[in-house]
Every structure is written in structure tokens, then in C-alpha cells.
């Protein structure tokens, strides 16, 4: 395995699922610069398709999307990839729903807009949790 392949295998495989295309594109660029292996999905359906195709350590999932309810997508993710940790993103005012997400197996939640450093730390913590599962 080359040094580049080793470096890539050590990177956290992250799935972003949010229907705000500009937000996802900016976030994906910023997280890639911080050495995450990022896959962007712009709908709940795309996120589900991505999880069918490959394994991720962590998913960052928006609670409210046009095509799907984030809680329903979370439930599917937990069935499809039980070791993948999910961090819910929620707009102001729907923190109760995000707490509900934690009851259904989400690792944690953040309110949008969130500080990038807070998100990065949560992703790293969630990935550690994901990788420690048998």
C-alpha cells in the first residue's frame, strides 16, 4: 500500500446529506481540506443510495429536507449501517426533533449554522465511536 493509500484509509469517511446544495458544497470543500473523505448527497434518497453503495464512518444528516424526513432517513441508516454514527443538523426551533433523533440512534445533533470547529470535533468523536464498534 502506498503512503497516499494509507493516508486515505486513515481518513474519516463522511457522508453529508442536506438539500441545501450551496451549503453542502461549501461544507464538503471545507471538510475535505481538513482531511475528511467526503461524499455529498443533496437529498434523503441520494443519501440512502450512497449508504447502499459504500461504508461510511459518519453521516451528517439534515433534519428537514424536501424529499424526506431526517428522522425517517436516520431510521433507515441505522438499519442499513448500524455502525455508522449519524450527526443530525437542525435549523433553529427544531431542537426537540433533533433530540428525538438521538432517541432513534443519532450520535448527537448541532443547530445550523454551526461552527465548523464544533462540527469537525463532533465528527471525529463520532468516528472514534463508530470504529470502536465490533
Reading the block at residue 111, the C-alpha cell is 443547530
**Predicted TM-score of the model (pTM):** 0.91
Domain count, the chain: 1
- Cross-strand pairs, 17: 41, 61
Q: What is the CATH number of the domain that holds 78?
A: 3.40.50.2300
pLDDT of residue 62: 94
30 part of a folded domain: no
3 part of a folded domain: no
pLDDT of residue 112: 86
pLDDT at residue 32 greater than cutoff 50: yes
Q: How far, in Å, are 41, 94, 96, 124 from residue 91 at the CA level?
A: 18, 6, 11, 22
11 part of a folded domain: no
pLDDT of residue 92: 63
Which structural domain, as residue segments, surrounds residue 132? 55-134
For 7-84, strand residue ranges (E) read 13-17, 37-41, 58-62
pLDDT at residue 11 greater than cutoff 60: yes
Q: How far, in Å, are 3, 29, 38 from residue 116 at the CA level?
A: 28, 12, 15
Amino acid at each position: 500500500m502506498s503512503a497516499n493509500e494509507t493516508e486515505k484509509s486513515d481518513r474519516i469517511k463522511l457522508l453529508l446529506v442536506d438539500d441545501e446544495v450551496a451549503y453542502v458544497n461549501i461544507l464538503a470543500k471545507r471538510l475535505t481540506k481538513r482531511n475528511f473523505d467526503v461524499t455529498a448527497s443533496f437529498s434523503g434518497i441520494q443519501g440512502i443510495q450512497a449508504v447502499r453503495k459504500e461504508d461510511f464512518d459518519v453521516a451528517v444528516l439534515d433534519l428537514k429536507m424536501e424529499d424526506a424526513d431526517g428522522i425517517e432517513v436516520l431510521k433507515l441508516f441505522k438499519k442499513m449501517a448500524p455502525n455508522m454514527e449519524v450527526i443530525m443538523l437542525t435549523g433553529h426551533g427544531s431542537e426537540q426533533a433533533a433530540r428525538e433523533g438521538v432517541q432513534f440512534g443519532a450520535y448527537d445533533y448541532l443547530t445550523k449554522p454551526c461552527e465548523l470547529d464544533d462540527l469537525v470535533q463532533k465528527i471525529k468523536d463520532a468516528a472514534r465511536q463508530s470504529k470502536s464498534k465490533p
